[in-house]
A = this chain, B = another copy of it.
Amino acid sequence: MTILEEYKPMFYPATIAVIGASKNQRKLGYHCLTSLVKSGFKGKIYPVNPNLSEVYGFKVYPSVRDIPDKVDLAVIVVPRHIVPSLIKECAEKSVKGIILITAGFKEAEDDVGAKLQKEIAALASKFKIKVIGPNTFGIVNLHMDLDASFTPEFSLMEKGNISLISQSGGFCHLIASLSLKEGGGFSKIIGLGNRCNVDFADMLEYLGEDPETKVIAMFIEGVDDARRLFEVTSYVARKKPIVAYKAGRFKTSDEASRSHTGSLAGRYDLYVAAFKQSCVITVNSSEEMLDVAKAFSMCPLPEGKRVAVLSAQAGLGMTTCDFCEENGLEIAVFTEKTIQRIKELLPPLSMRTNPVDMGPAWYNWETSRKVIETVSIDKNVDALLLLAAYASANEPLVREVAEPLKALARQKPVVTCFPAPRGIWLKEKKELESAGVPVYPTPERASKALAKLVEYAESLKAKQKFVVD
């Protein structure tokens, strides 16, 4: 059985049982069922609860065994002490995957939780059932309209090719909210929680093969089997970019990790070194994770690190250059031909080398287009950064330069920043992102995202070189 087949019942189920479904809004069982209903899931939903007969128009079954159909996936959200018996019932029913939302296991202060977790891990392994969790918010597969989590709003997210694996459900919620505001299309979102028998390495292997995933983002607190994690990353990261954010860099959060999902965070520097060794891109904040994932999701990899910076306002060009240089990019030296052409196009009022201040061409969109086209074909340019803050006077700009940007984006990374008041340039930004041109809220974030594209491309090259040598 391939790994895709192995996890098919989990991510592409035809039938789902919600064990612990509820009508009570103060219970997660209510929210789990609501998520499945609201996400528009096309398969069959079977609520299970011995004390309920009907919910959302569905017949409720007293036990999973009473469901008159096969069950691919079970979402379990019940008090912890009855979880083991429910796993046995699922096994009898030949359930293939379980999302175990219930908390209070290895992360609990008492001994009961750790003991219970051992028990369910043993059962899951005995019956060969994949269990995600316990202590998870759930999973989401936007391509399947599947929100098997306790938060219905995940189904508002844009479909795309970024998949997220996270130990923390809160972090998944954070990234979801950010992406709803700042763009970025997602495929799978997986809350690992305490990791009973499905860990980072398993999900990396799965997503590495998943045709609907182009970029893998992961939020790690700590893992038990670091060796296996790095074995897997080292081959998956050569096929698909992996963007990793590691918590527990400092003392307090390292200790907190144990009581969150039951793992010690471990030494941060060792993780970073191992990630670097296996071409995994490390990021240091939630926004940076989304920014970098978006860049990988949309852009081709750059051939080199020489960047052209074009800006409608010189100040934005300057901060961009600072961030480019700080993050290892080079400000490209244009060929003589490019320089001559730009001098013909722009008046001698501002910067005409790299960075190029296109300010003097504000009312002449044809000129802005020509500058972009000129720079695009310069052989010394590996990537383009374009920045323009909205002013009523330059309102047509983004629309007018979209075509050359989209054309270039098929060959080289084109990364942009178009800050504007709410509601302005929205349609234009969306169209650009659909055509492979990511748009960021600030010049600094645009530059850093591009730098990570370059870092990945260079780390792949270094690996290939090593193999050839």
Known A31-B392, A259-B350, A391-B150; judge A321-B444 contact (CB<8 A): no
Count chain B CB atoms within 10 A of each CB in A181, A360, A424 and give the residue with the most: A181
Question: Is the CB of A104 closer than 8 A to any CB of chain B?
Answer: yes
Interfacial chain B residues near A229, Cβ < 8 Å: none
Q: Least Cβ distance of A397 to chain B in Å?
A: 12
Across the interface, do B260 and A350 meet the contact criterion of CB distance under 8 Å?
yes
**A350/B107 in contact, CB under 8 A:** yes
Taking the complex as formed, is A200 at the interface, i.e. its CB lies under 8 A from any CB of chain B?
Answer: no
Interface-side segment among A60-68, A162-170, A274-282, A369-377:
A162-170
Asked whether B176 lies within 8 Å of A421 as measured between CB atoms, the reply is: yes
Complex contact B363–A174 (CB within 8 A): no
Determine how close the nearest CB of chain B comes to the CB of A212; give it in whole angstroms: 23
The answer on a CB contact under 8 Å between B313 and A169 is: yes
A174 near B389: Cβ-Cβ < 8 Å: yes
- Minimum C-beta distance from A140 to chain B (A): 13
Instruction: Report the minimal beta-carbon distance from A389 to chain B, rounded to whole angstroms.
Output: 4
A270 within 8 A of B: no
Does any Cβ of B come within 8 Å of A354's Cβ? yes
Query: Do B355 and A389 touch across chains, with their CB atoms under 8 A apart?
Result: no
| Contact A313:B389 (CB < 8 A) given known A107-B350, A322-B253, A350-B259 | no
Q: Mark A164-196, 1 if CB is under 8 A from B, else 0.
A: 001111110110111011000000000000000
- A382: shortest Cβ distance to chain B, in Å? 16
Least Cβ–Cβ distance between A324 and chain B, in angstroms: 8
Contact with B along A238-263 (1 / 0, CB 8 A): 00000000011111110011011100
Given contacts A26-B363, A180-B422, contact A314 B109 (CB under 8 A): no
Segment of A151-159, A408-416, A460-468 engaged in the interface with chain B: A151-159
Query: Which residue on chain B has the smallest CB distance to residue A316?
Result: B170
User: B286 and A442: CB pair below 8 A?
Assistant: yes
Q: With A173-B391, A177-B389, A287-B442 as known contacts, state yes or no: A153 contacts B421, CB within 8 Å.
A: yes
Q: Which residue of B lies closest to A391 (CB)?
A: B151
| Cβ–Cβ contact A422 & B181, under 8 A | yes
Q: Is the CB of B173 within 8 A of A419?
A: yes
Q: Mark A116-140, 1 if CB is under 8 A from B, else 0.
A: 0000000000000000000001000
Pairwise interchain contact B177-A390, C-beta atoms closer than 8 A: yes
Report how many copies the assembly holds.
2
Cα-based distance from A354 to B251 in the complex (angstroms): 12
Which residues, 411 to 451 on A, are CB-close (under 8 Å) to B?
419-422, 424, 441-445
Q: Are B318 and A257 in contact (CB under 8 A)?
A: yes
User: Within the complex, which residue of B28, B107, B247, B348 is in contact with A318, where a contact is CB–CB below 8 Å?
Assistant: B247
Q: With contacts A250-B322, A321-B256 known, is A315 near B166, CB below 8 A?
A: yes
Closest to A444 in B: B285
A340 part of interface (Cβ distance < 8 Å)? no
The interface residues of chain B lying within 8 Å CB-to-CB of A355 are 252-253, 256
User: Is A219 at the interface (CB under 8 A from chain B)?
Assistant: yes
> Residue among A178, A315, A348 with the most chain B CB within 10 A?
A315
Taken together as a complex, chains A and B put the C-alpha atoms of A171 and B392 apart, in Å, by 15
A419 near B253 with CB under 8 A, answer no
Q: Given contacts A108-B348, A260-B357, is CB(A34)–CB(B422) below 8 Å?
A: no
Using CB atoms and an 8 Å cutoff, list the residues of chain A in contact with chain B.
25-28, 31, 34, 103-104, 107-110, 113, 137, 150-153, 156, 166-171, 173-174, 176-178, 180-181, 219, 221, 247-253, 256-257, 259-261, 284-287, 311-319, 321-322, 324-326, 331, 348-352, 354-355, 357, 359-360, 363, 389-393, 419-422, 424, 441-445
13 new A-B contacts, CB < 8 A, other than A171-B315, A250-B325, A285-B445, are A31-B392, A109-B348, A151-B391, A153-B391, A168-B316, A174-B442, A176-B421, A177-B419, A181-B422, A252-B331, A253-B325, A259-B357, A285-B442
The 8 sampled A-B contact pairs (Cβ below 8 Å) are: A109-B349, A137-B391, A151-B390, A170-B313, A247-B315, A248-B322, A253-B322, A287-B442
